[in-house]
Each structure stands twice: as structure tokens, then as C-alpha cells.
Amino acid sequence: MTSHAFVEFFNVSKSYDGQTFSVLDFSLSVERGEFVTLLGPSGSGKTTCLKMLAGFEEPSSGEIWLNSRPVNQVKPWKRNIGVVFQHYALFPHMTIGENLAFPLQARRLPRDDITRSVMRALDMVQLRDFAERRPAQLSGGQQQRVAIARALVFEPDLVLMDEPLGALDRRLREEMQYEIRRLQQRLEVTMIYVTHDQGEAMVLSDRVAVMEQGRICQVASPEALYEEPQRLFVANFIGENNQVEGRIVNHDPDECQVEVAGQIIRAFPVAIDENDSHTCLTIRPERVALNPPPDLYPNCFEAEVEDIIFMGDHLRIHAALLGRSQFIVKIPNVIGHGGILPGDTVTLGWLVTDCRALDLKQASPQPINRNTTVNTNLGSEQLL
């Protein structure tokens, strides 16, 4: 087995009882200097993957490589990995400078080198003047910056972040997202980030690995995940989608015709089962046109407006369409939008390429259980 990526998971699984798996056959490559986010709901296995990479948990099977060497048997403190947690984990009895100096002292660096490294790290997060304060004297955002600085102070090969912004309010969380991304790009450090917030993943990442029940559903850039989801779970988890189930009556590689309530919707076939005529169509609310000119869109249907919700920069229109309620349309909040009222009949239209046909069965994966106990005694050379 060889690896050329900076971080590599080879078919890694984790079970605490040998039967039920929190992670199953997880494989992922991360290049040096890349920012990759593990995104998924609670219980999807993303934090477990991070803990195994950090050395806090041992894989039940499979191997993890770092910088072209296996690290399954390497102690956490020998992996040269910085870790940032959601709850900061700062020592309350130490000053900020002492918190940052701690990992350097553990590595027995000379005192002058420690001082220089601490001040350089504080400069990175713009907290040089706070070196003599204690964590309790700092705001939540400042404490999180200290936690990030501590993870970077010893110049690690890799930085792992586990929901680091979850305790912050929305405005501060958005500010810290850009701060983290700026630091990562400037330092060119490799980062693997864990979150359940899809907006956060979109802002920060070069690539996002969407996880469900211990497995990766899709790995791609934020734009590709949003525009080209390959599974129904990804389409639902990244952004917002209208879902319309129907029966495929005809298809070729570029287009399929799907019958819904006696009418035909033309869609782009992304992942359809050749042995099953049922599919789920997904249409982004912002890709639906309201009262478009005649013949402009291949899909045009009458709908009844159920509700209009003011969202500031846009309006959400809820409509009944093809026998289904709560079909959502987003339109910009511009002058002239007020001509539509609940109860009005409108026309909704969209392109074939904005209507994606996906496999219904992929929406509900089976629980990840095995009937055999896996081998937890993996042999691999140690990274010295």
C-alpha cells in the first residue's frame, strides 16, 4: 500500500462493539495545503474520523496515513497535528501567552524560541496585546482565536478543527469563518474541518465530504455539490430543494421524461435506477421562474400561491403545484414584486438542467451493521 496524498484514509471502519459501526469503509485523500470539510448531521461519523486521524481513537480496521507514512500505531503527540475544539479547552489559570507556550514547552524548545513563536502566533490572530490576560477576560471570539493560535504555534503539519465555531453567535461565527480561511490560505497549512453547518462548509472549503451514517455520500467542491449533487441526501443537505416524486416514462443520457400528476416534467438524469421507474426530481427554489414569457422554459406549469414570506433580500413563495403543496420559489426583493397575492394563479417554469432526477432508494441507506467482528490488531510501521 502506498500513498501520495498528504492525508489518506484507506477503508477505515470504527466499531465499539464489533457489530455496529459509527464509520464504515471510509476512504478519503487530502492534498497538502488543502482545506477539506467533513459535513454531515449529528451521528454521521465525522468527529469519529477526526479523532482517529488525531490519534484519540484507534480504527477497528483500515489504515490512516500521514505524509506518506502509516500512523495507526503512532501516539497522538508524535503526529505533529494541531487540534481546535468547540469549547476552546484553554487553561483558565494560565495567561494567553502561557496557554500558547504550553505545547512548545512540552516539546522542550528553548525559551527564546518559545517567546518568538508565541508572539508570532498572537500576531496571526491579532491578539499580541492580550498575552498577559487570562481566558476569562476575553470574549468568546477572542478565546476561539487563542485556541486557533495554540493549534498553529508549533507549526504543525496538519490542523484539525471540530465544530470550532458552534458556541459563537451568528455574526461572530461568520467573521471567524473568514478569519480561519484567511489564515489557512496565508500559512498554506492543511486543514480538516468538521461541521454540520452547510453554509460554513461552503465558505471555508476547497472540497467538502458529505457524510451520512458513517459513509461518504459525495466529495466535491462546494459549487459542484450545490450544482451537481449525485445523491438525494446531498441534494437535500446542501442548500434547499423542492422534491417531486414521479414515474419515468422515457429517458436517454441527456434527458428523461417523468410523469407527475398526469403531466410530463423534463429532467436531467443524474442517478436513476434502470430497474425502477420511480425517481425523485429536485429543483432549487431560486432556479424557478415566476410568470416567465411563453415558450422560454421547457417545463411550465400553473400553480396556486399559498403563502408569501418576506425574507429581507428575497421573498419565499409557497405554491401548490401538480397536486403538491409547499413548492417553494425564491424571487429577489425588488420594486414591483407586490403584485402577487395568496390565492393567485401563476405560471412556474424551469430548465431541464435545473431539474435533476435522482434515485429514490439512495435517500434511506441501511444501518451499518456487520455480523462478524473486525480485526482490531492492525500491523503497521511507526512514524518516528
Q: What is the pLDDT of residue 383?
A: 28
- How far apart are alpha carbons 126 and 140 in whole angstroms? 15
CA dihedral 343, 349, 353, 358 (to 10 degrees): 30
Residue 227 pLDDT exceeds 60 = yes
Per-residue burial over 9-36, b = 16 or more CB atoms within 10 Å of its CB, e = otherwise: bbebbbbeeeeebbbbbbebbbeeebbb
Residue 90's nearest CA partner among 172, 165, 157, 145 is 145
The model's pLDDT over 311-353, given as tens digits with 9 standing for 90+, comes to 888 889 999 999 899 999 999 887 655 678 899 999 999 999 9
Residue 3 pLDDT exceeds 80 = no
Between 47 and 275, name the one with better pLDDT: 47
- How far apart are alpha carbons 100 and 14 in whole angstroms? 33
Q: What is the mean pLDDT of residues 234-244?
A: 92
Q: What is the pLDDT of residue 294?
A: 87
Q: What percent of the chain has pLDDT over 90?
A: 68
CA R_g for the chain: 25
- How far apart are alpha carbons 211 and 192 in whole angstroms? 14
Q: Where residue 226 falls among pLDDT bands split at 50, 70, 90?
A: very high
- How far apart are alpha carbons 60 and 375 in whole angstroms? 7
Helix/strand/coil for 172: helix
- How far apart are alpha carbons 53 and 57 in whole angstroms? 8
The model's pLDDT over 138-180, given as tens digits with 9 standing for 90+, comes to 988 899 889 999 999 988 989 999 998 887 888 888 888 988 9
Among the residue ranges 173-187, 353-367, 369-383, the one predicted with the least confidence is: 369-383
Residue 302 pLDDT exceeds 50 = yes
Q: What is the pLDDT of residue 218?
A: 94
Q: What is the pLDDT of residue 375?
A: 39
Residues 46, 52, 57, CA angle at the centre, nearest 5°? 115
Residues 6+ apart with CB under 8 A from 192: 7, 30, 36, 37, 38, 50, 53, 158, 159, 160, 161
Q: Which one-letter DSSP state was computed for residue 132?
A: T
Residue 17 pLDDT exceeds 90 = no
Q: What is the pLDDT of residue 380?
A: 30
Residue 244's nearest CA partner among 180, 324, 164 is 324
Mean pLDDT for the chain overall? 88
Q: Where residue 376 falls among pLDDT bands split at 50, 70, 90?
A: very low
Q: Which one-letter DSSP state was computed for residue 365?
A: P
Check: CB of residue 280 under 8 Å from CB of residue 360: yes
Segments in 85-169 forming alpha helices (H): 96-106, 111-124, 140-152
Q: Tell the residue number behind the cell numbers 425523485, with chain if given.
A: 280
The model's pLDDT over 38-78, given as tens digits with 9 standing for 90+, comes to 999 999 999 999 999 999 999 999 999 999 999 999 999 89
Q: Which one-letter DSSP state was computed for residue 286?
A: G
Q: What is the mean pLDDT of residues 367-381?
A: 39
